[in-house]
């Protein structure tokens, strides 16, 4: 073999290896940038959008809510002579869920123990959930209504509102604010299920043939984190409902003044 050919083959191999290395490096950098975008930048964008939406919905609810009734001034005299403190009235009727239009903002959900407050919009498709909100499953009950008020949310990316769903414990409050009422649910338990287990969305979760007799709620998210292999389901039951005129329930603490815009 001529000496020139003997030198050319190793040169070509070196150049090929160098080119392959450059290609792999480019692919690696591209994948890294995609991971950064998917895992961080989508959170930034979605949380900014979710914050603006939350402020707007609070303002809308405050404008639509009936005014709180004024209490008469207590009469002078001993404590025994004074009128008892007024108790909250009955909650107002909520809209029929069939009237919700896709993408409508219908409530705000507060999960105080994990530090989340998110607008609830109608629909569970990506164009809704990617706004950093919780999505309401169509054909399930509305807030505070008998049946199953079923919600979905991202656990990773796009604001990850249910990132800490797995940290919730029995008895934790979930407060759902609407234009008319506050609905206070109590968290019961967690369950990991197959993605196809639609029965958790039934009016009585897990029992599709049963007739509902109480107001329940489920929260659904992908499981484990950074995977869609399974679903994490959080179950809750309605504790009580009060009209907005009664003021925010104590479960919200001093984190915010609900409905002040």
Q: What does the pLDDT look like over 25-42, one tens digit per residue?
A: 554 444 444 444 455 678
Per-position b or e across 53-82, b if 16+ CB within 10 A of its CB:
bbeebbeebeeebeeeeeeeeeeeeeeeee
Residues 144 and 157: beta-carbon distance below 8 Å: no
Domain that holds residue 1: 1-67+91-261
Total domains in the fold of the chain:
1
Residue 75 within any structural domain of the chain = no
Residue 172 within any structural domain of the chain = yes
Residue 79 within any structural domain of the chain = no
pLDDT at 18 over 80: no
Residue 245 within any structural domain of the chain = yes
The 10 Å Cβ neighbour count of residue 116 is 19
Element (H, E) at 231: strand 230-243
How much is the average pLDDT of 142-157?
Answer: 97
Evaluate the omega torsion of the peptide bond into residue 224 and state whether it is cis, within 30 degrees of 0.
Answer: yes
**Average pLDDT value for the chain:** 84
Residue 100 within any structural domain of the chain = yes
Q: What is the CA radius of gyration of the chain?
A: 26
pLDDT at residue 2 in the model:
55
Q: pTM for this one?
A: 0.78
How much is the average pLDDT of 67-80?
Answer: 48
pLDDT at residue 199 in the model:
97
pLDDT at residue 185 in the model:
98
Residue 117 within any structural domain of the chain = yes
User: d(Cα 253, Cα 238) in Å, to the nearest integer?
Assistant: 19
pLDDT at residue 29 in the model:
43
How much is the average pLDDT of 89-96?
Answer: 93
What pLDDT band is residue 258 in, cutting at 50, 70 and 90? very low
pLDDT tens digits along 156-202: 999 999 999 999 999 999 999 999 999 999 999 999 999 999 999 99
- CATH of residue 95: 2.40.260.10
Residue 74 within any structural domain of the chain = no
Residue 101 within any structural domain of the chain = yes
pLDDT at residue 26 in the model:
54
């Amino acid at each position: 073999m001529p000496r020139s050919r003997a030198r050319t083959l190793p040169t070509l191999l070196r150049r090929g290896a160098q080119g392959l290395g450059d290609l792999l490096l480019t692919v690696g950098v591209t994948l890294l940038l995609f991971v950064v975008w998917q895992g961080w930048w989508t959170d930034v964008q979605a949380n900014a959008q979710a914050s603006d939406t939350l402020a707007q919905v609070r303002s809308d609810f405050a404008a639509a809510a009936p005014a709180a009734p004024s209490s008469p001034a207590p009469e002078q005299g001993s404590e025994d002579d004074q009128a008892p403190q007024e108790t909250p009235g009955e909650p107002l009727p909520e809209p029929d869920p069939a009237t919700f239009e896709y993408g409508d903002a219908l409530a705000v959900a507060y999960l105080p123990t994990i530090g989340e407050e998110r607008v609830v919009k109608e629909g569970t498709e990506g164009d809704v959930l990617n706004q950093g909100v919780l999505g309401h499953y169509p054909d399930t009950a509305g807030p505070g209504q008998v049946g199953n008020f079923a919600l979905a949310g991202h656990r990773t990316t796009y604001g990850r509102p249910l990132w800490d769903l797995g940290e919730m414990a029995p008895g934790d409050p979930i407060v759902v604010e609407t234009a008319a009422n506050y609905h206070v649910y109590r968290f019961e338990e967690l369950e990991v299920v197959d993605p196809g287990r639609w029965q958790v969305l039934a009016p009585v979760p897990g029992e599709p043939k049963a007739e509902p007799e109480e107001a329940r709620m489920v929260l659904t998210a992908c499981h484990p984190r950074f995977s869609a292999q399974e679903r994490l389901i959080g179950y809750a039951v309605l504790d009580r409902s009060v009209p907005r005129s009664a003021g925010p329930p104590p479960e919200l603490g001093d984190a915010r003044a609900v409905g002040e815009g």
